[in-house]
Amino acid sequence: MSQTTAVHGERISLLRVLGPGHVWALGVGIVLVGEYMGWNFAVGKGGALAALIACWFAGLLYTCVAMIDSEVTSTVAAAGGQYAQAKHIVGPLMAFNVGLFLVFAYTMLEAANAITLGYLVQTVGSMASFPETHDKPFIVLTIVFLAWLNYRGVYATLTFNLVITAIAFIAILVLFVAVQPWNNTLMKHNELLTGLPYGWLGVLAALHFGMWYYLGIEGTTQAAEEVRSPSRALPLGTMTGIITLLIAATLTWYICAGLMPWEYLGQAVTPLFDAARLTDSRVLMVLLFIGTIFSTLASANGCINDASRAWFSMGRDRYLPQVFGAVHPKYRTPYRSIVFLVPVALVFAYFAPLDQVITFSILAGLLEYTFMAFNVIMFRQKWPLGSIRRGYVHPFHPLPAIVLLILCAATYFAVFLGYGTQLVAMLVFYIIASLWFAFHRYKFVRRGAQFTMPWPKPAGY
């Protein structure tokens, strides 16, 4: 039985049920896995001190990102986050590209998390005398289970994220207290910090993986159409999220750099779990293993949420086929976008090597941050303070935008040092996609309907 038409006024929208805690869980949930693994490759690039400097610089980069994002998204409160911002402030071609950056960054990160989870289960199998354990069933289960959870509703999805992210964060705090930072019984910073083995070039190279401490915090904006109070919840959730991550990143570096020599730490797969093993405490080992699993799950879960919202928003504006703009009448989720992205994530998780998947995710994120710096400058020029209502006004404008651009440029160079081919390949891909959009797809876009914010005309127009 088919209900053929919508009666006047009948609409199905995404469900506004989320609070600041869910926004925090979305942002920190995506990122916290970077503390459990990945950040330490920065140690391999330039030593432990270089990783600390990278942690600070990347922290500065992401503080700029969080401040800029909080201001713009508290005004452009729409699913799609930076895509919707680009559409209203810069224009359709930029919006199309930003939408692709978002979907790529999150889907690749989701695939990387699923690969990691499969690896962890395989490791447990090997430790339990089953060396022939396969990772593939657990990779597939991770992606399908979390997609199913996302399909069934945003409230349960992000409440689940809130619980597992909080446990993973508390595990880091417990480990920090357990290693007794107030004395030198376990911590050996005096012996293990050996300067900069590759000099300042190593510090620059470390920036590539230094991003891993915070990559994804900007994903909070994707919840804009599902929070009860966007102008309050988004800045609050995002800013508390970046503060949480700055604390977690610093503690993680302090614990690991004080327990392991940089030569080992630089290539460890699960540095925080390894740190727990070095304490000889079974309780800590179990806690940090659970933290590792939970942080991985939370990240993949948040990525599915964000990638599907970005894809959904592009479908709704007909930047992509309109079928992706559908909302489930019962669960109020972008169900077709969620299902469509499942095989995409599975293909990358099944066939692509982990470091390539991570690098493509970092590159997509980096392109997005570069856009954000230009975006906020244009936003303040076109709609100066006082011309529209803002939920949050970030301080010292345009300094954060300039700092963000400088740090992005340094990080591009760092990525180019290690993955120049991928950087060029990705840029070529976006140029081809842009040509397709400009010459083929744009004629389908709802040109008038895509601008939905009740703003006055921009200054100078």
Partner 1 sequence: MNNFQLLEYAAWGLSAILGLWMVFDLIRTDRTYSEDILNSSREGEIEDALVIDPTHQGGQR
Contacting positions for partner 1 (CB under 8 A): 1-7, 9-16, 77-80, 84, 125, 128, 130, 133-134, 137-138, 140-141, 144-145, 147-148, 151, 225, 313, 316-317, 322-323, 325-330, 332, 335-336, 338-339, 342, 450, 452-453
Tell me whether residue 58 or residue 139 sits nearer to partner 1 (CB atom): 139
Minimum gap (Å) between residue 318 Cβ and partner 1: 10
Residue type, 338: I
Tell me whether residue 180 or residue 452 sits nearer to partner 1 (CB atom): 452
For 18, the 3-state DSSP assignment is strand
Tell me whether residue 79 or residue 248 sits nearer to partner 1 (CB atom): 79
Residues near 4 by Cβ (< 8 Å), separated by ≥ 6? Answer: none
What does the alpha-carbon distance between residue 247 and residue 241 come to, in Å, rounded to a whole number? 10
Tell me whether residue 119 or residue 138 sits nearer to partner 1 (CB atom): 138
Minimum gap (Å) between residue 309 Cβ and partner 1: 11
In this structure, what are the phi and psi dihedrals at residue 366, rounded to the nearest 5 degrees? -65, -40
Minimum gap (Å) between residue 332 Cβ and partner 1: 8
**CB-CB contact of 74 with 235 (8 Å):** yes
Minimum gap (Å) between residue 320 Cβ and partner 1: 13
Minimum gap (Å) between residue 394 Cβ and partner 1: 22
Residue type, 157: T
What does the alpha-carbon distance between residue 178 and residue 173 come to, in Å, rounded to a whole number? 9
Tell me whether residue 75 or residue 375 sits nearer to partner 1 (CB atom): 75
Handedness of CA 350, 355, 359, 362 (dihedral sign): positive
What does the alpha-carbon distance between residue 453 and residue 347 come to, in Å, rounded to a whole number? 37
Element (DSSP H or E) covering residue 162 = helix 154-178
**CB-CB contact of 324 with 337 (8 Å):** yes
What does the CA dihedral 127, 129, 132, 134 come to, rounded to 10 degrees? -40
Minimum gap (Å) between residue 143 Cβ and partner 1: 8
The alpha carbon of residue 407 and the mean position of all alpha carbons in its chain are separated, in whole angstroms, by: 18
DSSP 385: B
For 440, the 3-state DSSP assignment is coil
Tell me whether residue 202 or residue 325 sits nearer to partner 1 (CB atom): 325
- Supply 261's token pair: 């020599």
Q: Write down the residue that tokens 């740090």 correspond to.
A: 407
Of 174, 160, 138, the closest CA to residue 289 belongs to 174
Tell me whether residue 13 or residue 267 sits nearer to partner 1 (CB atom): 13
Scored b (16 or more CB within 10 A) or e, 241-275 reads bbebbbebbbbbbbbbbbbbebeebbebebbbbbb
Tell me whether residue 381 or residue 452 sits nearer to partner 1 (CB atom): 452
Tell me whether residue 159 or residue 450 sits nearer to partner 1 (CB atom): 450
Of 221, 286, 185, 289, the closest CA to residue 74 belongs to 221
Minimum gap (Å) between residue 171 Cβ and partner 1: 24
Minimum gap (Å) between residue 142 Cβ and partner 1: 9
Minimum gap (Å) between residue 225 Cβ and partner 1: 7
Tell me whether residue 248 or residue 341 sits nearer to partner 1 (CB atom): 341
Minimum gap (Å) between residue 358 Cβ and partner 1: 24
